[in-house]
Amino acid sequence: MQSLWLIFQLLFCLFLGFILARRLPQWLEKLAFKILPYFTYILLIAIAVEFSQTLHNISSPGQILSSAVTIALTTSLGAILCCYVLFKSIGYKPMQGKVSAELLLGSLLNISYAFIALAAGYGLAELASLYSFPLHISTWDLLLVYMLLIGLDLAYSPLDRSWLNWKILLVPVGCIIGSIIGALTASLLISNISIQDLIMLSQGYGFYSMTGIVVTELKNAQLGSIALINDLFREIFAILFMYIIGWRYPRSAISAAGATAMDVTLPMVKQACGNDFIPHAMVSGFILSVLAPIVVSVLAAL
């Protein structure tokens, strides 16, 4: 019953933000959109505080990192291969394109900010622990605020009805199925996590600021830590694969980007894949951003 209540809270805040769009005072909406790009870092600092406290109760933190990276790599490759097979089966051929080292370095710099936020939160928690200062931050409450802001943002996303055709929808389908295949592959390499939990972890689609909190709340802190690191690395792999294969296999690269395709990796889609594939990224990212909190919450509650 508690899990259903938590799921309801997530969906309600997302829906509330969506319906409040264009109904709020302009100054308030502008403030919300100014806060949104930085709110992720606030969440990451809060998550790192909880992560630090969790590590004190975990005997093998190295195992968490290795498990998370394994899941991230297998699910990313699974999404790439599944999307490739889906589009090849309907006769699509490889494309051409170009990239620049400047944008790649800029993108990796943006990813480094996430790790800086995590390091800041971790250091803050360790400092508080050293001086026996009680530090309690409600990551769940912060996540609900974040979902409301995302709802506002989604309402302004320039999605066009003409983009919603079955061929474009194969991109998020490839990500979903490929991530599950990746989780099953990871089960051959990871023995201490059940297949059900691996599938749950695979369905975060790179939405790291949400998945870690939901999994911690509904399962346990150790799995929550794996979920966070897994989706952080999925985002990193998404950026790398965008430049490695995006110019040749754009749909597969967008599929690997998961939920990040409509925000963090969208500039890379534009350059590495071309403007023609922006609709693919927007539609796929939109669908997966909405599905991620629902699917992860439901699977965690089972």
How far apart, in whole angstroms, are the C-alpha atoms of residue 229 and residue 114? 11
Average pLDDT over every residue of 14-29: 89
Query: How many CA within 13 A on the CB side of residue 165?
Result: 4
Q: Are 14 and 86 in contact, with CB atoms under 8 Å apart? A: no
Does residue 2 surpass a pLDDT of 60?
no
What value does the mean pLDDT of the chain take? 84
What's the whole-number mean pLDDT along residues 20-46? 86
Closest CA to 256 of 183, 179, 204, 187: 179
Average pLDDT estimate for 68-88: 96
Mean pLDDT of 134-148: 82
CA dist 300 and 280 (Å) reads 29
What percent of the chain is modeled with pLDDT above 70?
89
CA atoms in the 13 A half-sphere facing the CB of 297? 20
pLDDT of residue 163: 63
pLDDT of residue 159: 58
The pTM (predicted TM-score) of the whole model is 0.76
> Which of the given ranges, 86-95, 119-128, 242-251, has the highest pLDDT on average?
119-128
What pLDDT is attached to residue 96?
62
Degrees to nearest 5, angle at CA 292 with 287 and 293: 125
In one-letter notation, the amino acid at residue 201 is L
d(CA 233, CA 174): 19
What per-residue confidence (pLDDT) applies to 107? 65
> What pLDDT is stored for residue 200 in this prediction?
96
Highest mean pLDDT among 2-11, 235-244, 269-278: 235-244
- The yes-or-no verdict on residue 112 having pLDDT over 90 is no
At 174-224, the pLDDT tens digits run: 999 999 999 999 999 998 899 999 999 999 998 877 888 889 888 888 898
Which pLDDT score is estimated for 4?
A: 62
Of 91-95, 156-160, 183-187, 270-274, the least confident: 156-160
How do residues 39-69 score in pLDDT, each as one tens digit?
878 887 887 887 777 667 666 777 888 999 9
Q: Can you give the pLDDT at residue 84?
A: 95
Lowest mean pLDDT among 75-84, 134-143, 189-198: 134-143
